[in-house]
Amino acid sequence: MKKCIIPDGYQSALNLHETQIAIKTVKDFFQNLLSERLNLLRVSAPLFVDPSSGLNDNLNGIERPVSFGIKEQDDAPAEIVHSLAKWKRYALKKYGFQMGEGLYTDMSAIRRDEETDNIHSIYVDQWDWEKIISRDQRCMDTLKDTVRNVYKVLRKTEKYMSIRYDYIKEILPEEIFFITTQDLEDLYPDCAPKEREYMITKEKGAVCLMQIGDLLASGIPHDGRAPDYDDWMLNADILVYYPVLDIALELSSMGIRVDAVSLASQLQKAGCIKRADMPFQKAVLNDELPFTIGGGIGQSRICMFFLRKAHIGEVQSSLWPASAVEELTRKGVAIL
């Protein structure tokens, strides 16, 4: 486990029972408003997929998916999803969604190789969403407009929770600040990527960090990004400053999805050209899928932020190292 930091004197304002009620309050309000503002319909989604389909999220390419054999199908392999980044685009076509319409779903994943700490768990729960756009809408203006809409939902959720719970004060700024990874590197050339994120987010309060995945002028990427769903020139993370832990907290990752040109280029850059032969990637290269924008919004991260919790285990059930559980118990942190 990476270093877990519990602030001196920290005490949750809610007990376990009250926390469960508050989690539902946050989730209900946020997802209802998000679906309304982005014109999204809730759909059912898979927990596992066929690895040969190319539908699983490969993340940074080194994380091992949880896999198992299906007895009834001669032990045919299946993989627990890392996310539904690619499946959603396929589903929009299969389910007959039209231009300007979108879907969202509750995504549950297991990331067995995750290094856990205050904000990371091997269990991942998020709202995965995806929306059909036109070819002409594959541009920075579309990305920024969508980010602003998501951010407005975040601000309204904070306002709503501050009314429901007296201890919650509004801290999100009125506007979100936009910056590319290259501009951020130019601003803080002597800092590591995560240090840059912290510095800009603490200064601005809420930041949209764009163009993640490709090499920067320094010769290294700001962060890893799978090459076969986001267009690296048209993606973004939403980061907010979280004073409880004095960190930059990522709440959402999103992007305009790859077209045939950007997919071919990014597979080449990532050294993953063999993925071009997989069904999903073939469909993109052959222009058989709609152009889309989509992303993931962490459910536990959202709850943690709006309820002002110090550890993600306070808002989700997972497994933690025994030493971490002992330390959290000693400091009075009640995990689920």
Active site residue 57: yes
Please identify which residue in the block is written with the tokens 């840059």.
196
Q: Which of 111, 138, 196, 308 is catalytic?
A: 111
**pTM for this predicted structure:** 0.91
- In the 8-state DSSP scheme, what is residue 66? P
Q: What is the CA radius of gyration of the chain?
A: 20
Active site residue 111: yes
H helices present in the chain, as ranges: 16-38, 87-94, 140-164, 181-187, 193-204, 260-269, 279-285, 299-307, 322-330
Active site residue 301: no
Q: What is the pLDDT of residues 203-240, one digit of tens each?
A: 999 999 999 999 999 999 999 888 988 999 999 999 99
pLDDT at residue 65, rounded to an integer:
85
- DSSP 3-state percent helix, strand, coil across the chain (nearest 5): 40, 20, 40
Active site residue 246: no
Q: Which of 12, 121, 126, 316 is catalytic?
A: 126
Q: What is the pLDDT of residues 155-193, one digit of tens each?
A: 999 999 999 999 999 999 999 999 999 999 999 999 999
- In the 8-state DSSP scheme, what is residue 235? E
Instruction: Compute the distance between CA of residue 331 and CA of residue 83 in angstroms, rounded to an integer.
Output: 33
Instruction: Compute the distance between CA of residue 159 and CA of residue 138 in angstroms, rounded to an integer.
Output: 32
Q: Which of 128, 231, 250, 314 is catalytic?
A: 250
Q: 62 Cβ partners below 8 Å, 6+ apart? A: 113
Active site residue 253: yes
Please identify which residue in the block is written with the tokens 């320094």.
218
The answer to whether the CB of 172 falls within 8 A of the CB of 312 is no
